[in-house]
Amino acid sequence: MVETSINQSTGLVTIVLKPNNSSSWQFNMKIVISLAATAFFISGYLAMQGLWLVFPFAMLAVAALFTSLYLRMRDNIKTEVITFDENTVLVERGSYHAEKSWKYQRLWTKIFIKKPTTRGYPKQIFIRSHGEELELGSFLNKKDKEILIKDLKTAVYA
């Protein structure tokens, strides 16, 4: 997801990049709870029939599902904020707050796009200044990268 805001009076351009989220944390927890309840009742019934070894493996499967959804949702709250002002370009990355930031002088900064070597892969967008290179929006899909390219062109020439 790409959100761009341009302040016409100050010339400040802010681009916010976030991964696409297909479902919320609450929806994922409803899925885990429903699958855990189903697994609990079926494996509990089988345990009472003498197949007690099914129960721990069913709960292990539910724990693996919860862990994988948790890790996926944690990755989906990553955010990149690119700010262009008169003299600087600021790139900030983090989950709940800016954990890392890079500051470039706008005059010495170049934004360039690398075409993929493998057909079907999205383009890569980089910002470079003084030999230092940083990829922007690595988690974006093909459509969002095209939007980012268009918004970066607008920001550079604003």
- Mean per-residue pLDDT pooled into runs of 10, the chain (158 residues): 90 92 88 95 94 94 94 88 94 92 93 89 92 92 93 85
Q: What is the DSSP letter of 70?
A: H
Residue 89: what pLDDT? 95
Residue 148: what pLDDT? 95
Cβ pair 140, 148 in contact under 8 A: yes
Taking Cα atoms as reference points, which of 86, 76, 89 lies closest to residue 152?
A: 89
User: Domain residues for 144?
Assistant: 2-20+79-156
110: its two tokens: 């170049």
Last residue of a domain, one of 57, 75, 93: 75
Residue 158: what pLDDT? 66
Write down the pTM of the prediction: 0.79
Residue 117: what pLDDT? 86
Q: What is the CATH number of the domain that holds 138?
A: 2.30.29
Residue 4: what pLDDT? 93
Q: How far apart are CA 155 and CA 63, in angstroms?
A: 45
Taking Cα atoms as reference points, which of 108, 111, 104, 107 lies closest to residue 89?
A: 104
